Amino acid sequence: MTRVHLITGFLGTGKTTAILDLLKQVPTGEKWAVLVNEFGEVGVDGAILEASGAVVREVPGGCLCCVSGLPFQMGLNMLLAKEKPDVLLIEPTGLGHPRKVLQTLQSEHYLDVLTAGANVCLVDPRQLSDPRYTDNDTFHDQIALADILIANKSDLCTDDDLRRFDQLVSASQPAKLAAERTQYGHIDIELLSLSPDSKRLALKDHGHHHHESREAKAPIALEAGEQFRRLEGHGAGHHSLGWLINGDWQFSLAQLRHWFDQLEAERAKALINTSDGCYVLNWRDGVLSEMPTRALEESRIEIITGASPNADTLETTLFACRVVD
Ligand SMILES: Nc1nc2c(ncn2[C@@H]2O[C@H](COP(=O)(O)OP(=O)(O)O)[C@@H](O)[C@H]2O)c(=O)[nH]1
Ligand SMILES: [Mg+2]
């Protein structure tokens, strides 16, 4: 039996960071795997997790709850059959609704292979006073369905932000199994051994507006000789714009920083080959974080915006950051 945990949280709250940290705590002899679903078409998180050596399966393009179910189930079935992990962590897109995923995992089909572990929701407490989040049903449902609530990014929070988080926890019905403040997604692996409350899934639906139906596709890669591919998508009131770029292309890190500085978006991330080496670039609320990573076969960039992005302009300015010798 594989114990499965959903790691939820809105865009950029620190889900991938938390998973990377949990994987470092896995006791020797145990096998943990990750299934990651991204809103964008290009898929960056899967590659970030893979670069850390984790067993990963990726379902890009859409929200797990709305993709017709099949690509998700196929991804899940293949991962379970091939890897037989002791524990499976699922990172749904920050725009995704967890209920359908939980229902699928608890369906008859998986009775013999999966046991429900505690579900974790990461919250950036600063968002608790921001109507962009507090007016969003998915935001509330992610919190309601979680067994464990984590206040991440506490280094960036004011006392008021943290107080709002504490109030949220004490007002939660049924009570949360655990609630913690943390930074950089650090969660004690022991917390995941807590048994979840099976009644939580029966909670009233906050009124999930089904996103436009989108097919999740298999993870994509460039064809031999292909230089780049641009991929666009939309759903849940958001747009995704991304590029897969031949790994031979090198970008100037300084110029990329400038490009991100000019960016107007909800979220952006990249795995990219630069003249200073390969990097994971993570952009959120105007702040860019940089982390060196191993050599890449191809670069991947993904932007999520509210309004429809000007893809041609963004592409021209992005490609102008390329170092051509
Ligand atoms: N300052 C600060 N940054 C964080 C913390 N946790 C994560 N981050 C950064 O937030 C960005 C988004 O994190 P990520 O794990 O990709 O979020 P996800 O979209 O929920 O998977 C990354 O640049 C992280 O390094 C934290 O506790 N404090
Ligand atoms: Mg992520």
Q: Are residues 143 and 265 in the same domain?
A: no
Atom of ligand 1 nearest to the CA of 13: 20
Shared domain for 184 and 279, answered yes or no, is no
Q: How far apart are CA 104 and CA 207, in angstroms?
A: 18
Give the domain-ending residue among 168, 202, 236: 202
Verify that 121 and 24 share a domain, yes or no: yes
- The answer as to whether 210 is a domain residue is no
* Structural domain count of the chain: 2
The protein residue with its alpha carbon nearest to ligand 1, atom 12, reads 12
- Number of the ligand 1 atom closest to the C-alpha atom of 17: 15
Distance 161 CA to ligand 2 centre (A): 23
Quick one: 197 and 249 in the same domain? no
Structure tokens at 146: 């979680």
Closest atom of ligand 1 to CA, residue 153: 27
Residue 228 Cα, ligand 2 centroid: separation in angstroms? 23
Please give the order of strands across the beta sheet that includes 238-246.
Answer: 228-235, 238-246, 298-305, 267-274, 277-284, 287-292
CB of 250 closer than 6 A to ligand 1?
no
- Residue at a domain's end among 202, 217, 248: 202
Q: What is the CATH number of the domain that holds 310?
A: 3.30.1220.10
Residue 218 falls within a domain, yes or no?
Answer: no
Query: 141 in a domain, yes or no?
Result: yes
Q: What is the pLDDT along the chain (325 residues), one digit of tens a residue?
A: 999 999 999 888 999 999 999 999 999 999 999 998 877 777 788 888 887 778 888 776 665 555 446 677 778 888 999 999 999 999 988 777 788 788 888 888 888 899 999 999 999 999 999 988 898 888 998 999 999 999 999 999 999 999 999 999 999 988 999 999 999 999 999 999 999 877 676 665 554 444 444 444 556 788 989 999 999 988 778 899 999 999 999 999 999 999 999 999 999 999 999 999 999 999 988 999 998 888 888 999 999 999 999 999 999 999 999 998 7
Whether residues 302 and 175 share a domain: the answer is no
Please check whether residues 34 and 131 belong to one and the same domain: yes
The CA 85 to ligand 1 mean position distance, Å, reads 26
Domain span at residue 146?
2-202
pTM of the model: 0.83
Helix extents (H) in 115-219:
131-134, 137-144, 159-171
Q: What is the CATH number of the domain that holds 62?
A: 3.40.50.300
**Could you tell me if 23 and 147 lie in one domain?**
yes
